[in-house]
Structure 1
Amino acid sequence: MINTLIGDIGHLSVIIAFVAAIVASYAYFMASRSSNTAEDLKSWRRFARTAFYVHSAAVIVIIFALFNIIYEHRYEYYYAWSHSSNHLPVHYMISSFWEGQEGSFLLWIFWHVILGVVLMNSGKKNKEWEAPVMAMFSFVQLFLTSMILGIVIGEMKIGSSPFILMRDFMPDAPVFAMDPNFKPEDGTGLNPLLQNIWMVIHPPTLFLGFAATLVPFAFAMAGLWKNKFGEWVRPALPWAHFAALSLGLGTMMGAYWAYETLNFGGYWNWDPVENAVYIPWLVLVGAIHTMIVYRRSKHGLRVSYILVIVSFILILYATFLTRSGILGNASVHSFTDLGLSGQLFTYLTAFAVLAVGLLAYKWKQIPATEKELSTYNGEFWVFIGAAVLCLAGFQVLTTTSIPVYNSFLGFIGIESNAALPADQVEHYTKFQLWAGVLIAVLTGIGQLTWWRKADKTSFLDAITMPLMLTLLFASLVIILSNKFDVFDFKLDDPIYIILFVTSLFAVFANLSIILSLLHKKVTLSGGAVAHIGIALMLLGILFSSGYSKIISGNTSGMLYSREFPDEINRDNVLLWRNAATDMDKYVVSYHGQYLEVEGVPQYINKEILFRTADEYTAIARADIKVNDKIYYKTGDTLYLPSPENTYYEVEYKHRETGDIFVLYPRAQVNPNMGLLASPDIKSFATKDLYTHVSSVLDPNEEREWSELQEYTLTMGDTLILNDYVAIFNGVEVIKEVPGVSLKEGDVAVQADMKVMGEKKTYHAHPLLIFKDGMAGYYPEIIEDLGLRIMFLNVDPEKQEFKIGVNTTQKDYIILKAMEKPFVNILWIGTIVMTIGFFMAMVRRGEAGGVKTAKANPAPKAEKAEKAQVA
């Protein structure tokens, strides 16, 4: 019998979490009603807290139960079978936890639990906000928990349970008809592209950003509900910074994962799933700016409401896009539909209607400042910047939503075949590039006007030095790149020059702000630091994408194959094994296939590994040593953590300097997904060399060998094999054969042959084993030369030996190499931006705490607002 206890505990905990979320939501709602007495409010709040803690405990139990199912290889559960396997290391088991929809929903729920507990225990600072904010939190948790509920009422399915058994998921499978308790011995494993350390940390960071957007949204809703129209901004602002920090950092982690794992040659491909996260981040950053303006001048409260609400609704819309299956083939990494599209749409609609309806109902009561802003006022430029961010997001949203338009029109009976742009990169870039220019200009001007007096003279004084430095530095770079060939590119494209100049201006303008604030308080410069990070990211994107250069062009004048797309025939170089080939400024050579061996700090050549029936183990055919340290001796059994991955050794030699380095691009031929190639990257000070294979010999296909040719030899004979000279040195009897158990009476004989290749000499040792009265042949394959040598027979009386030889195509790879100038500026900018957001978050948190601690006095403007509302 299959033990289903852990799954029963997990599913029961889901039900408890769902019910507790309902109770907490209602109790916090009651604790927010001003019609209740003070004692009733306290009683409801205590009850609500208890319910939310029960909900939190249940969520922790769910997580424990699901991970236990994965970690203990309980393949009777569909989730473990479909996302994990026996040989996954623990850190990839963690990745498999959130590979599926249910696990990712659970991760989102978990972060809401953590944030909710923090909000409940934030002390007096947010005590007055706890009930209305947590009512919204609990209400969101109700919907999210329903996504993993996994119950069916009549014909209505509510959620998809991660604790469903295989026999229940696929009841019609013949194996369960024969044995209801059948349990697979292994799972299907984690998607090979997700077996990357960034997939361990990128999803949690991104979902933390998803979860954190709920906090400012909940405060905004609480402000509308309780008629505290301006007071919510202060406690919500540090949380908005935190949400933007984690969402932005999580997005860029995903970009770096794509850069080092996927082979499209970059870090951003304008995939709909990428766009779905990018859009709410832009709107959220715009919301932060309008909230800061309101804190300073009481302008833009209504805009702040709109942007905070829209950013959260866009998170829900992103969830609907990526999980409903509506994208179909439009995205390479969206989730498939689990039958939850209706439930996801309900989730989105419920909060959109609630938020928009409440905002519309209270709209006239929201205070508005009629004072006009001058062009030398910082608030004016901040509003312009927020508008640019939102327009940039709207352009991406409009195109990304094309599959949604088609689906909606089809639902109402109108056929629509609108398609996404054929070249999405060009489509988005031609607008987003100009948006980047405006953002760069506005981050400079906005900061200068924000920290200077609002008059023309002060502004001109503030902008003079940044402008002079910008023009000086920009002119220097343009001249060096165009006249003196200092760089590998020419900065001569007008739009690129404009983006370069404006980004430099943003750097220098914000740097001048930081220098002017050093004598005051360093945390005041958080905004300037974040803006410098954004400007550096724009510079990194400009150079690495705008001036990315393919250096592996096909100069042979021949097509590699008519079956290949034009891109492979045009932009790739064919490398025969151990044959040097000129490629741009390098001489490149391919030196064979390598595998990862546990405990060894570098990859090991396949030729010295004897593969066994177990694909995860091999036997050393020679001592394995690195830097004179022996890790395994001949005959030792080795563990191969990822036998499906082959690493191709590619040596680069610079023709002018003679510098040599080696890269190991990785690839596997997956039966379901085809060739999965991941690049290897050589980083220099000013560029990255990005290398990946585009085509290899399929190791899963049976090789086409020529007809076996037999030779009868004596010791010392010479023969010609596939145009190579070979010498038969003799044979020897060996007592041990890796992977073979020899008994008394069994005989193993090993031939010793030397084959002179074009570049090196090879030693072949084919085996002939007489075991239990039968002959067994263990050939030696020399991939470089396309030879398979077999030891067929021994005639001890005549001292003659029979050798069989097959030939095949030599080993090769087709390689693509690109240079990406100054891509490191992008990653440095990401780090700087994150530091800036963190500094701003700390500053806003401290400011909010100090002001709240002093008996929470309301500013005069806020008092006026309250009087106006009354």
Structure 2
Amino acid sequence: MNLLVGQIGHLFVIISFVTSIVVAIAYYFASQSSDLTASPKNQEINSWKKMARLAFGVHAVSVIGVVVVLFSIIYNHQYEYHYAWSHSSNNLPYYYMISCFWEGQEGSFLLWIFWHVCIGVVIILRSIFVKHKKDNTWEAPVMMVFASVQAFLASMVLGVVVPFANLKIGSSPFILLRDAMDAPIFQSQPNYIPVDGTGLNPLLQNYWMVIHPPTLFLGFALCLVPFAFVIAGLWKKETTKWLKPTFAWALLAAAVLGVGIVMGAYWAYETLNFGGYWNWDPVENAVFIPWLVLVAGIHAMTMQQKRPSMAKLSAILMISVFLLILYSTFLTRSGILGDSSVHSFTDLGLSGQLLIYLLFFTIGASILFFMNWNNFPKSKQESSFYSGEFWVTLGVVVLGLSALQVLVPTSIPVYNAVLDALGIDSNVAPPADPEHFYTEWQLWFSVGIAFLSATAQVFWWKRIEKSNLKDNFVIPLILTAIITTIIIAVAQIKDASYMILVLTSTYALVSNGISIARTVKLNPKLAGGALAHVGVALMFLGILSSSGYDEIVSMNMSGLLYNKEFSDEVNRENVLLFRSQPTKMNKYEITYKGQYWDSPNFPTYVNKEDVKGTAYAHKVIAQKDLIYKDKVEVKSGDTLQIFEENTYYKIDYVDTLTKETFTLFPRVQQNPQMGFVVSPDISQGIKSDLYTHLSSLPDPAEDRTWSQPEMKVLSPMDTFIVNDFVAVLDGVHRGKPLADEDYMLYAEIRILDKEETYTAKPVFQIKGNEVRGIPEIIESAGVEFTMINVDPKTEEFTFNIRTTQRDWIIMKALEKPYISLLWLGTIVMTLGILVAMWRRYTEAKKATVSKKSNSKKPKNEMELV
């Protein structure tokens, strides 16, 4: 057993925890100047800062060391460690090894810690190389907050038991399997190491799970920056100066976190079979809420630049973002959502730590905020109805209420747990139909957001009075009315709420489009906000069209009930397909063509009929040349590696109207822990997506009903009928005998389908006076051949032939119109946020250069000497 590598990894964890505390203490003492604009008071403060930077460097190296060691354990299949055994397996593709790292709680915490290190390094380096010395005074108080957060996060993976207190701090990713499991085998074999791991959750075996979690956690980590600057400002009683160095970071956090959320939605769309991309699951909500509050906070910060009295609201929202992220961490990792979410982690005994973590920063931030209540600028005048600030403030309120509406029902398990702890029985249950419940509310919040994003743009960039109100709105409103009328007429929208959402979203597109045209002429960087609003409007239209007007195209038109045990939905909304039998489905003619495997040795999926199993797991032998794009990629007799836990079902489509053809491969994974896991395949288009997944298929564990054997005597090139197929005995050939055989024959029987040909090769073995026929089953045709006799004089061969029901599947297909608008809107929104971020970054940089220039100007003639 290689125990040294785990001990090194655990040592790195301890070092990272200790150094984070050292960094926090050193930066605390380095922050002891009167205010943030003052230069460091003395050499002692500079010494503390140097010590803090050195300690943070050690902390960064130790965190990277932990990450490298843990990934090494996973990649090298060191199953003596519980983390490697429970998240990886021998046959897992190497690119999914990365997903194994953050599948568990400990790995995801390490990912979060790693991103904080990267951001902390950027903040320190900028402070070191910044040209204006007064700007680097932010480093110490901000990094003190960073280090404090790092200490708490590092404690989550510490895995140390406090002596005499029976208290465990954190859960170590380097715990041995024998220490984590109370299995009998470890009593007899203490050094026992499993030959294989349990494998990665099949739902996570998707390329989005390689990039979605690190993007999401980078968004979480970036949200710490505004929080840290606000806390630093409150600590130093500077309630407004944190805005400029924070603005670009906040926008970057919104872009990255938003992209991470949409990545998760797209993963659900591609992987889960509920037919959508957002299910209002509590874990989804827990990530969505901080993003909504972050966007509200960014709008408040925008107003703060014109109206300093908005600093109080900006500070509240930026603090709330980070606290909500901590709250979402508590929800998803304490096990409290175990009964209400399929995404939550199980409780590893860390719920107490998570709660302390949340309360520490909530109470600390609240105390600092209220201590500075009177230090915030006061409002000198009310916002006018004709000012941009008025409409942006309404937008902030709507975003906040939208977040609150999601937060309250999502937190019901927490309320129940608190009441139960107080001895009060709580019967409050989460919404029975979350999709309907949340959508009903959020639709109207979307209407408000679309309307306000359009109206606020007009008031923000133009001076509007009562006298010119009509002139500024007449063109956007006329264009909106025309476009909305066309959309409603063409799409045949009849629901009043949908009409209103189309109206306001179109209004947002038109108004913000006009704003973009105006601002680009002045400065393209000014168009970021309007561009982001255009993206949001496109997203609303994409969500409405794809969710409100999706169509089931696989309706059962046969008039038959597939199975009495199936739900009415399955019997009504699915189509039954027999192998190689074309079937009409709406405007499509579809044909189920068989079962396939994925292989790293072949560019596309491998037909199960073209390979034969071996005595080795995950290894098969090609029965014929495997061709891809007219090139032989695998020769007959070659060995291939296959990922046999995943079976792909090939379905050919022909659009009878356009004659377009395409193929989909919906997936089924037979997982020991989860049973059959079904994933869809999607044909994507600009106008619509065709979403296909399997609803039922023959269970290989059940005994099939075979017919009684039918005996046939055949000669080479004889043609016969079997299970409604035409079959031909091409010949019988002598094969190379095995070690315990005297003689071996194998027959070649072709089974002719309309578009495919299957080949059966039943074997006849002779050893002394013993003869034995080895049956060959062709699953696709539902036929079994067994050669039972050979007459060398007449060259006739006798076969027993059995048949069963041919291969079949039951499939569901939906068309989702204009879902492409949702993904396009996400891209446009992100680009808009990034444009705005670049603008704020350059403004902050120019302000620094300006300060430096001003500082060099002589105050009087004596300074010229």
Deviations 1:443-488 (A, max 9, x none): 111111111114234543332222222112122222233xxxxxxx
Q: Give 1:628 deviation, angstroms.
A: 1.6
Q: Does 1:281 align with 2:301?
A: no
Which of 322, 325, 331 aligns to 1:312? It is: 322
Q: Does 1:615 align with 2:617?
A: yes
Contact 2:782–2:804 (8 Å) recurs in 1: yes
Q: Map 1:15-94 onto structure 2 (within 5 A).
A: 15-34=14-33, 37-94=41-98
Q: Map 1:122-133 onto structure 2 (within 5 A).
A: 122-123=126-127, 124=130, 126-133=135-142
Instruction: Return 342-351 or 589-598, whichever deviates more.
Output: 589-598
Contact 1:293–1:299 (8 Å) recurs in 2: no
Deviations 1:305-347 (A, max 9, x none): 1111111110000000110000012111111111111111111
What is the rounded CA distance, in whole Å, between the counterparts of 2:847 and 2:754 in structure 1?
80
Q: Does 1:838 align with 2:840?
A: no
Instruction: Return 597-606 or 125-134, whichever deviates more.
Output: 597-606
What is the rounded CA distance, in whole Å, between the counterparts of 2:769 and 2:392 in structure 1?
88
Deviations 1:480-520 (A, max 9, x none): 33xxxxxxxx2222111111111111111111111111222
Letter in 2 for 1:568: V
What is the rounded CA distance, in whole Å, between the counterparts of 1:774 and 1:44 in structure 2?
89
Match of 2:552 in 1: 550
Q: Give 1:128 deviation, angstroms.
A: 1.3
Q: Map 1:204-223 onto structure 2 (within 5 A).
A: 204-223=214-233
Contact 2:723–2:803 (8 Å) recurs in 1: yes
Contact 1:448–1:509 (8 Å) recurs in 2: yes
Q: Secondary structure at the match of 2:285?
A: helix
Which of 109, 114, 117 aligns to 1:110? It is: 114
Instruction: Return 311-320 or 362-371, whichever deviates more.
Output: 362-371
What is the rounded CA distance, in whole Å, between the counterparts of 1:436 and 1:187 in structure 2?
46
Q: Give 1:857 deviation, angstroms.
A: 10
Change (3 A) 1:458 1:240: farther
What is the rounded CA distance, in whole Å, between the counterparts of 2:751 and 2:71 in structure 1?
53
Which of 128, 152, 155 aligns to 1:143? It is: 152
Q: Map 1:654-669 onto structure 2 (within 5 A).
A: 654-669=655-670
Instruction: Give 5+ residue unaligned stretches, structure 1.
Output: 482-489, 736-740, 859-870
Q: Give 1:101 deviation, angstroms.
A: 0.3
Match of 1:695 in 2: 696
Match of 1:5 in 2: 4
Match of 1:861 in 2: none
Match of 1:420 in 2: 430
Q: Map 1:193-212 onto structure 2 (within 5 A).
A: 193-212=203-222
TM-score normalised to structure 1 length: 0.93
What is the rounded CA distance, in whole Å, between the counterparts of 1:420 and 1:466 in structure 2?
42
Match of 1:300 in 2: 310
Q: Give 1:754 deviation, angstroms.
A: 4.3
Change (3 A) 1:315 1:762: closer
Contact 2:233–2:239 (8 Å) recurs in 1: yes
What is the rounded CA distance, in whole Å, between the counterparts of 1:305 and 1:802 in structure 2?
87
Contact 1:26–1:135 (8 Å) recurs in 2: yes
Q: Give 1:582 deviation, angstroms.
A: 1.9
What is the rounded CA distance, in whole Å, between the counterparts of 1:776 and 1:671 in structure 2?
35
Q: Map 1:90-489 onto structure 2 (within 5 A).
A: 90-123=94-127, 124=130, 126-153=135-162, 154-170=165-181, 172-481=182-491
Q: Give 1:675 deviation, angstroms.
A: 2.1
Contact 1:669–1:698 (8 Å) recurs in 2: no
Q: Give 1:799 deviation, angstroms.
A: 4.2
Match of 1:670 in 2: 671
Change (3 A) 1:469 1:157: same
Contact 1:532–1:833 (8 Å) recurs in 2: yes
Match of 1:502 in 2: 504
Instruction: Return 207-216 or 152-161, whichever deviates more.
Output: 152-161
Change (3 A) 1:410 1:635: same
Contact 1:530–1:836 (8 Å) recurs in 2: yes
Q: Give 1:728 deviation, angstroms.
A: 4.2
What is the rounded CA distance, in whole Å, between the counterparts of 1:771 and 1:431 in structure 2?
77
Deviations 1:599-628 (A, max 9, x none): 433222211111223232211111111222
Change (3 A) 1:511 1:761: closer
Contact 1:669–1:700 (8 Å) recurs in 2: no
Contact 1:378–1:454 (8 Å) recurs in 2: no
Contact 2:146–2:228 (8 Å) recurs in 1: yes
Contact 1:611–1:617 (8 Å) recurs in 2: yes
Alpha-carbon RMSD across the aligned residues, in angstroms, is 2.1
What is the rounded CA distance, in whole Å, between the counterparts of 2:834 and 2:659 in structure 1?
45
Q: Does 1:643 align with 2:644?
A: yes
Instruction: Give 5+ residue unaligned stretches, structure 2.
Output: 35-39, 855-865
What is the rounded CA distance, in whole Å, between the counterparts of 1:132 and 1:773 in structure 2?
91
Contact 1:85–1:186 (8 Å) recurs in 2: yes
Letter in 1 for 2:171: S
Change (3 A) 1:776 1:418: farther
What is the rounded CA distance, in whole Å, between the counterparts of 2:772 and 2:853 in structure 1?
91
What is the rounded CA distance, in whole Å, between the counterparts of 1:707 and 1:84 in structure 2?
45
Contact 1:11–1:161 (8 Å) recurs in 2: yes
Instruction: Return 458-467 or 23-32, whichever deviates more.
Output: 458-467
Contact 2:309–2:377 (8 Å) recurs in 1: no
What is the rounded CA distance, in whole Å, between the counterparts of 2:623 and 2:768 in structure 1?
24
Contact 2:685–2:820 (8 Å) recurs in 1: no
Match of 1:868 in 2: none
Change (3 A) 1:530 1:724: closer
What is the rounded CA distance, in whole Å, between the counterparts of 1:181 and 1:250 in structure 2?
42
Deviations 1:777-805 (A, max 9, x none): 44332334311112233243564433122
Match of 2:732 in 1: 731
Deviations 1:667-714 (A, max 9, x none): 123232122111111122210111111111234555443444444545
What is the rounded CA distance, in whole Å, between the counterparts of 1:602 and 1:619 in structure 2?
16
Percent of aligned pairs sharing the same letter: 52
What is the rounded CA distance, in whole Å, between the counterparts of 2:707 and 2:346 in structure 1?
45
Q: Give 1:525 deviation, angstroms.
A: 0.9
Contact 2:539–2:823 (8 Å) recurs in 1: yes
Letter in 2 for 1:767: V
Match of 2:857 in 1: none
Contact 1:753–1:764 (8 Å) recurs in 2: yes
What is the rounded CA distance, in whole Å, between the counterparts of 1:260 and 1:824 in structure 2?
14
Match of 1:487 in 2: none
Deviations 1:812-847 (A, max 9, x none): 111000000001111111111111111111111111
Contact 2:498–2:544 (8 Å) recurs in 1: yes
Match of 1:588 in 2: 590
Q: Secondary structure at the match of 2:851?
A: coil
Aligned residues: 842
Change (3 A) 1:721 1:220: same
What is the rounded CA distance, in whole Å, between the counterparts of 1:64 and 1:760 in structure 2?
50
What is the rounded CA distance, in whole Å, between the counterparts of 1:773 and 1:823 in structure 2?
69
Match of 2:860 in 1: none
Q: Secondary structure at the match of 1:446?
A: helix
Q: Give 1:724 deviation, angstroms.
A: 4.8
Contact 2:609–2:758 (8 Å) recurs in 1: no
Letter in 1 for 2:61: A
Q: Secondary structure at the match of 1:732?
A: strand
Q: Give 1:776 deviation, angstroms.
A: 5.8
